[in-house]
Amino acid sequence: MTKTLLALAGLTKAYPGVIANRDVSFEIQQGEVHALLGENGAGKSTLVKSIYGLVKPDSGAMHLNGQPFAPNDPKAARAAGIAMVFQHFSLFDALTVAENVALGMEDPPPLRDLAGRIRDVSEQYGLPLDPARIVGDLSAGERQRVEIIRCLLQDPKLLIMDEPTSVLTPQEVEILFETLRKLKSEGTAILYISHKLEEIRALCDTATILRLGEVVGDCTPREVSAREMAEMMVGGTLHVPEREAGPEGEVLLKLEGLSARSPQEFGTPLRDISVEVRAGQVLGIGGVAGNGQDELLLALSGEMRTDPQMVQFKGRPIGQLPPNDRRGLGMCSAPEERLGHAAAPDMTLSENAALSGKTRKALVRNGFVDWGGARDFASIIIDRFDVRTPGTENVARSLSGGNLQKFVIGREILQDPDVLVVNQPTWGVDASAAAAIRQAILDLAANGAAVIVISQDLDELMEISDNFAALNEGRLSAPRAASGLTIEEVGLMLGGAHDMEVAHVDA
């Protein structure tokens, strides 16, 4: 006996210059796991923000249990029984689990009682968590558990989960799914947002597919193939990057016992990392977020200095060299965070082109910046990497995430480096841009560069890497040839399930 829990009718929301949602209608039944599927920028986030009271739709109506439902703020949504786990956690590193949970509640009970309730809920749903631990010391998977438990304490009727598995290992994903299935068996509906098709096929009862803000279809995920869903999502066939096996060349980059403390509090130190990358090779480094990816990139870009011998470029120790010296030698990098790290948000694309390109493109003469040359370099990047922007004098933050990412990656690749290190090259980028970026990385390797791709997207790594290694708590596993690795083996390399246990689902 299913009953409609939440019905959306004709929801429309426009932002200046873009319609995020156009006439979206669908229904969520009680006790079902409902997938909301779509590429980045398809309007999934805006839609769930409307349900959670963070965004007010321009038109359309929602009904919860048959009653009109128009939450003014998240507080009203929570009061109506809707809870949400965000993709980016809103936790305070310096506080304990219990304190963080209390901060998210309307009227928290005394901390001692709360700790007891946290323990109860975490045991009931197979999400072990010690209320007294400091959040800064927790892994990403454990942090997510804090967020989930915070939601479960409110006894929600509808739980919204925004890309929950992007920070989890395959084993942790399985545990999360057990928890969600248990919730479902108790009658809680789950709105599950993802673009990972296999997960949706494993977990969800129904799926609504969004493209460019509109509902383009729905399906029962178990009954259709992942490919069919992907094509509905993208609205066409996908271009899969091609690769030519390049010749195995000399060792261009060698890390030898690379150890370093994280420059950030609660960061992950690098522990004794040793690996070699040869010309023509792509080394994929996987791992759950927060296991030393940022630190590894900083150590390779030169923003974090180490002992000279720890990083060797063509046999030459360079661990002590600052970023521009490394660029001069032929080593470029692209950090994960586009706005604020790889690019300065309020600077123009010309200025951002000079930001990392000034050394190799000889854009500084006698201390003076050659702005004409920087503009030319920027327009070459825009042209070659199909960056959609009115021109080189637009500021970086006016670009969409995918376009800026193409600009950032293009800027490094067009400097023709011998070694390229990229972190999360296609994070938050739509499928066609992601394919273009991967192709460009593969072309660079085919031309004899050594490339390190750090990513949390295992499918991406399997697609483009020759060798695969995993980062776990700052340690790097021994690299293995990527072809032939199974997803279970990868999961074990990523560090397994971090001592979690599967929820015991009672009948």
Partner 1 sequence: MIALERRPQPSRAWSYLSPLLAVIVTMIVGGIVFAALGKPPVEAIRTIFWDPLFGDFASYFRPQLLVKAAPLILIAIGLSFGFRAGIWNIGAEGQYIMGALFGAGFALAFYPSEARWLIFPLMIVVGTLGGLLWAMIPGLLRVHFRTNEILVSLMLVYVADFMLDAMALGLLRNPEGMGFPGSRNLQQYPAAHNAELIANTGMHWGVIAAFFAVVAAYILLSRHVFGFNVRLAGQSPRAAAFAGVSADRMVLICMGLSGGLAGMAGMFEVAGPSGQVLASFNVGYGFTAIIVAFLGRLHPVGILLAGFLMALTYIGGELAQMNLQLPRSAIQLFQGMLLFFLLAVDVMTNFRIRLGRKKVA
Specify whether the CB–CB gap between 207 and 190 falls below 8 A: no
Q: Is 354 in the site for partner 1 (CB under 8 A)?
A: yes
Specify whether the CB–CB gap between 448 and 361 falls below 8 A: no
Specify whether the CB–CB gap between 23 and 12 falls below 8 A: yes
* Residue choice 54, 70, 226, 462 for contact with partner 1 (CB under 8 A): 70
Tell me, residue by residue from 12 to 51, as one string, x for binding to partner 1 by CB under 8 A and - for no binding.
Answer: ----x-----------------------------------
The smaller minimum CB distance to partner 1, of residues 157 and 411, is found at 411
Which 3 state secondary structure label does DSSP give 309? helix
Specify whether the CB–CB gap between 162 and 45 falls below 8 A: yes
Q: Residue 467 class from Cβ within 10 Å (0-12 exposed, 13-18 middle, 19+ buried)? A: buried
* Residue choice 53, 57, 126, 410 for contact with partner 1 (CB under 8 A): 57
Looking up tokens 């070459």 gives 380
121: Cβ–Cβ under 8 A, 6 or more apart, which residues? 127, 149, 152, 153
The smaller minimum CB distance to partner 1, of residues 163 and 351, is found at 351
Specify whether the CB–CB gap between 71 and 53 falls below 8 A: yes
The smaller minimum CB distance to partner 1, of residues 118 and 321, is found at 321
Q: Which of residues 388-417 bind partner 1 (CB under 8 A)?
A: 394-395, 397-398
From the list 303, 314, 242, the residue with the least C-alpha distance to 277 is 314
Specify whether the CB–CB gap between 170 and 202 falls below 8 A: no
Q: Are strands 158-162 and 316-317 parallel, antiparallel or unpaired?
A: unpaired
The smaller minimum CB distance to partner 1, of residues 407 and 468, is found at 407
Which 8-state DSSP code applies to residue 478? P
| Main-chain dihedrals φ then ψ at residue 123, nearest 5 degrees | -75, -40
Q: Which of residues 282-341 bind partner 1 (CB under 8 A)?
A: 301-303, 322-324, 327, 335, 337, 340-341
The smaller minimum CB distance to partner 1, of residues 250 and 337, is found at 337
Written as six digits, the tokens of 200 are 């949706």
Q: Nearest approach, Cβ of 152 to partner 1 (angstroms)?
A: 29
Q: Write the single-letter amino acid at 200.
A: I
Specify whether the CB–CB gap between 57 and 9 falls below 8 A: no
By CB under 8 A, which span of 354-362, 377-385, 422-430, 498-506 interacts with partner 1?
Answer: 354-362
Q: Is 346 in the site for partner 1 (CB under 8 A)?
A: yes
Tell me, residue by residue from 358 to 377, as one string, x for binding to partner 1 by CB under 8 A and - for no binding.
Answer: xx----x--xxx-x------
From the list 464, 436, 329, 349, the residue with the least C-alpha distance to 398 is 349
Q: Which of residues 102-141 bind partner 1 (CB under 8 A)?
A: none
Q: Nearest approach, Cβ of 479 to partner 1 (angstroms)?
A: 26
Specify whether the CB–CB gap between 208 and 193 falls below 8 A: no
Alpha-carbon separation of residue 1 from 29, 43, 209, 386 (angstroms): 10, 31, 25, 52
By CB under 8 A, which span of 103-111, 212-220, 355-363, 432-440 interacts with partner 1?
Answer: 355-363
Q: Nearest approach, Cβ of 3 to partner 1 (angstroms)?
A: 24
Q: Rounded to the nearest 5 degrees, what angle is found at the Cα of 151, between the Cα atoms of 150 and 156? A: 150
The smaller minimum CB distance to partner 1, of residues 46 and 281, is found at 46
The residue count for binding partner 1 (CB under 8 A) is 41
By CB under 8 A, which span of 55-63, 119-127, 424-432, 488-496 interacts with partner 1?
Answer: 55-63
The smaller minimum CB distance to partner 1, of residues 139 and 423, is found at 423
* Residue choice 351, 430, 457, 466 for contact with partner 1 (CB under 8 A): 351
Looking up tokens 């120790």 gives 317
Q: Is 344 in the site for partner 1 (CB under 8 A)?
A: yes
Specify whether the CB–CB gap between 84 and 29 falls below 8 A: no
Q: Nearest approach, Cβ of 22 to partner 1 (angstroms)?
A: 14
By CB under 8 A, which span of 119-127, 162-170, 347-355, 466-474 interacts with partner 1?
Answer: 347-355
* Residue choice 7, 19, 54, 61 for contact with partner 1 (CB under 8 A): 61
Q: Are strands 368-369 and 475-476 parallel, antiparallel or unpaired?
A: unpaired
The smaller minimum CB distance to partner 1, of residues 21 and 139, is found at 21
Residues at the interface with partner 1 (CB under 8 A): 11, 16, 56-61, 70, 301-303, 322-324, 327, 335, 337, 340-347, 351, 354-356, 358-359, 364, 367-369, 371, 394-395, 397-398
